[in-house]
């Protein structure tokens, strides 16, 4: 019998994507969410995980960047794949090396547009509005040592109307995220895991 794929979600804030993922996999036969990690003790994502009775782990910058503590915690839970769902810190090389090709991120724009350092959340949608774009969307991609780089797994787009505000753009983009992120994780994790 194949072993289950064990996901850990990294989230820095609200956690609405984390929630969509926890819900999608709550009854899944091959994939489960086993841990939610955050750099922010006040992240609402932590509360959402507790509601799903999923263990949580909060870490600070030194633990993340200058130690193996996060990797140790992931190994303790036998995590196989990492999902960045609204996680705002660049991953350190030791973490990327510990999970080669097993880390996925979502970015709320059509990369390479509106990506890079400092581009997250509402800032992305403000930049899209200011640039007068007529469409935007989401990019789901594998993670490497650069911001918003790595192999693209899926892009989906929506219209930006002249009447849209950064907030209404965010709402359209969030809807795409909830629709596509869980099933893209499913397809990616199943295709990248070797049966045992």
Applying CB under 6 A, among 54, 74, 96, 108 the residue interacting with ligand GAR is: 108
55 binds ligand GAR per the rule CB under 6 A: no
16 binds ligand GAR per the rule CB under 6 A: yes
Could you confirm whether 125 is annotated as catalytic? no
86 binds ligand GAR per the rule CB under 6 A: yes
Residue 76 CB contacts under 8 Å (≥ 6 apart), including other chains:
none
d(CA 77, CA 6): 8
Size of the site for ligand GAR (CB under 6 A): 15
Q: How many residues does the chain have?
A: 196
CB 177 within 8 Å of CB 108: yes
68 by Cβ neighbours in 10 Å (0-12 / 13-18 / 19+) ranks as middle
- Active-site residue (options: 28, 78, 81, 107): 107
Smallest gap from Cβ 129 to ligand GAR, in A, equals 15
Smallest gap from Cβ 3 to ligand GAR, in A, equals 28
11 binds ligand GAR per the rule CB under 6 A: yes
99 by Cβ neighbours in 10 Å (0-12 / 13-18 / 19+) ranks as middle
Residue ranges in contact with ligand GAR by CB under 6 A = 11, 13-17, 85-86, 106-108, 120-121, 124, 177
């Amino acid at each position: 019998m194949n072993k289950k794929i064990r996901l850990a979600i990294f989230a820095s804030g609200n956690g609405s994507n984390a929630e969509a993922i926890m819900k999608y996999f709550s009854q899944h036969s091959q994939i489960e969410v086993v841990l939610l990690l955050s750099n922010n003790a006040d992240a609402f994502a932590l509360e959402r995980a507790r509601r799903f009775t999923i263990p949580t782990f909060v870490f600070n910058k030194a633990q993340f960047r200058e130690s193996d503590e996060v990797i140790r915690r992931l190994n303790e839970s036998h995590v196989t794949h990492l999902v960045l769902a609204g996680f705002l810190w660049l991953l350190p090389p030791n973490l990327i090396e510990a999970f080669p090709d097993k880390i996925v991120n979502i970015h709320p724009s059509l990369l390479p547009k509106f990506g890079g350092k400092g581009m997250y959340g509402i800032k992305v949608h403000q930049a899209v509005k200011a640039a007068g774009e007529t469409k935007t969307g989401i990019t789901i991609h594998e993670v490497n040592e650069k911001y918003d780089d790595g192999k693209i797994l899926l892009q989906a787009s929506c219209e930006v109307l002249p009447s849209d505000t950064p907030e209404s753009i965010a709402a359209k983009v969030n809807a795409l995220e909830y629709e596509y992120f869980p099933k893209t994780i499913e397809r990616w994790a199943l295709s990248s895991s070797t049966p045992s």
